[in-house]
A = this chain, B = another copy of it.
Amino acid sequence: MSYSKQDLVALQQFYANQLLNNTVPFWFPRSFDKEHGGYLLMRDADGSLIDDDKAVWIQGRATWLLSTLYNTVEQKAEWLEGAKLGYNFLNQYCFDTDGQMFFHVTRDGKPIRKRRYFFSETFYVIAAAAYAKASGDASAAAAARMVFGECIAYASGEKKLAPKFTNTRPSKGIGVPMIMMNTAQQLRETIGDERCDEWISKWIDEIETFFVKDDIRCVMEQVAPDGSIIDHIDGRTLNPGHAIEGAWFILHEARHRNNDPHLIALGCKMLDYMWERGWDTKYGGILYYRDVYNKPVQEYWHDMKFWWPHNEAIIATLLAYLMTGNEKYAHWHQQVHEYAYKHFPDATNGEWYGYLHRDGTIAQTAKGNLFKGPFHLPRQEWYCNQILKDYIK
């Protein structure tokens, strides 16, 4: 199958409509916390608040979303004012005295938990950069660049975080080069930063050299420092939705580089490998974890269907189709789009449920919690809308 121009126009209108008339209105304006700043995002299906705590990742991601909508869709005062609430809350309450960021704070910004990762920091960078572009606030741009520098220091090993494991069996994850690549892409596209191109090339090289295994058609989630597979439960665990997210970050980079053919081929094969391993041929949808050798994984909930791998797969398949014209990708896009928009949306209250059993039934009803909020779904709808507009104009 292939998509006609008319099909693409219909898809673009569908995503734009979902984004602006369903997904974003579920969250905003009601989640703006005008009393303490930031956002109240931990909500049940009907929008009622489950918890007034604030997850720092999600505060940053929501600030990014509101700023990005303002920058690219419409200069709505509500979005800019909303982004400012998040940006100020992050600055005021989410940094520890040692410069590291917290993971989880109370409604009024008291720290609950700090984790041994720097993902709060990467989401801060995209939030501050997008907000800087939206507001013209030069201090936000400076803050984004400064924290990006910290992230580079962590990612390159120049700065160390407290380790969770001993050095007995060293490993590295694909998560770090992936998130750093996307953080740099966002920084480059909002306020620009001359460090980005070179680092993006290094991180792509890292992914290609160490994590992409052509012989077994697989993208590893973690490997030994030399790229070999660690044949233990954790080392064998694959996260297909995550690798597919990495695939579209690389396709996005290929577009930025005038459709660089090597990067198109790399992104497409990462998608191919992990679609083969992740797509559930029995029930449809993307399985959460797989073992590289089909052994049992540690995580007993490995076969659940989470919302976000479907968002990433919708983007990756659409982008692969638009960039290559390969009908396989149109077919996959249609499959994952239809599965996702059939099983995840809440027809009554808008937005998506986050967690389905393998068979597609709803496992729990929260729209927002420590890990879910206004990010993967609106980003997918926004990104697909943007890219389709480019291709159909």
Q: In the complex the two chains form, what is the Cα distance from A193 to B348 in whole Å?
A: 61
Q: In the complex the two chains form, what is the Cα distance from A233 to B53 in whole Å?
A: 9
Contacts A300-B364, A301-B304, A364-B300 known; A111 to B233 CB distance under 8 Å? Answer: no
Determine whether the beta carbon of B111 is less than 8 Å from that of A166. yes
Determine whether the beta carbon of B300 is less than 8 Å from that of A363. yes
Q: Report if A278 contacts B (CB, 8 A).
A: no
Determine whether the beta carbon of A354 is less than 8 Å from that of B300. yes
Q: How far is the CB of A280 from chain B (nearest CB, A)?
A: 13
A73 to chain B: which residues have CB within 8 Å? Answer: none
Q: How far is the CB of A196 from chain B (nearest CB, A)?
A: 34
Please name the residue on chain B nearest to A232 by beta carbon.
B51
A206 to chain B: which residues have CB within 8 Å? Answer: none
Q: How far is the CB of A354 from chain B (nearest CB, A)?
A: 7
Contacts A112-B165, A164-B113 known; A296 to B53 CB distance under 8 Å? Answer: no
Contacts A233-B51, A300-B301 known; A112 to B169 CB distance under 8 Å? Answer: yes
Q: Report if A346 contacts B (CB, 8 A).
A: no
A300 to chain B: which residues have CB within 8 Å? Answer: 301, 304, 306, 354-355, 363-364
A295 to chain B: which residues have CB within 8 Å? Answer: 44, 50
Q: In the complex the two chains form, what is the Cα distance from A110 to B168 in whole Å?
A: 7
Contacts A44-B295, A166-B114, A168-B110 known; A364 to B302 CB distance under 8 Å? Answer: yes
Q: Report if A91 contacts B (CB, 8 A).
A: no
A50 to chain B: which residues have CB within 8 Å? Answer: 233, 295-296
A364 to chain B: which residues have CB within 8 Å? Answer: 296-297, 300, 302-303
A296 to chain B: which residues have CB within 8 Å? Answer: 44, 50, 364-366, 369
Contacts A50-B295, A298-B369 known; A363 to B166 CB distance under 8 Å? Answer: no
Q: Report if A370 contacts B (CB, 8 A).
A: yes
Q: How far is the CB of A367 from chain B (nearest CB, A)?
A: 9
Number of contacting residues on A, CB 8 A?
38
Q: How far is the CB of A292 from chain B (nearest CB, A)?
A: 12
Q: In the complex the two chains form, what is the Cα distance from A262 to B304 in whole Å?
A: 44
Q: Report if A133 contacts B (CB, 8 A).
A: no
A114 to chain B: which residues have CB within 8 Å? Answer: 166
A168 to chain B: which residues have CB within 8 Å? Answer: 106, 110-112
A44 to chain B: which residues have CB within 8 Å? Answer: 295-296
Q: Report if A145 contacts B (CB, 8 A).
A: no
Q: How far is the CB of A305 from chain B (nearest CB, A)?
A: 10
Q: In the complex the two chains form, what is the Cα distance from A183 to B355 in whole Å?
A: 37
Please name the residue on chain B nearest to A166 by beta carbon.
B111
Q: Report if A76 contacts B (CB, 8 A).
A: no
Q: Report if A56 contacts B (CB, 8 A).
A: no
Residues 297-333 of chain A, each 1 if its beta carbon lies under 8 Å from chain B, else 0: 1101111101000000000000000000000000000
Contacts A51-B232, A300-B354, A301-B301 known; A106 to B169 CB distance under 8 Å? Answer: yes
Determine whether the beta carbon of A369 is less than 8 Å from that of B106. no
Which A149-201 residues sit within 8 Å CB-CB of chain B?
164-166, 168-169
Selected A-B contacts with CB under 8 Å, 16 pairs? A51-B232, A106-B168, A106-B169, A110-B168, A111-B168, A112-B165, A113-B164, A113-B165, A114-B166, A233-B369, A296-B365, A298-B369, A301-B301, A302-B363, A303-B363, A358-B363
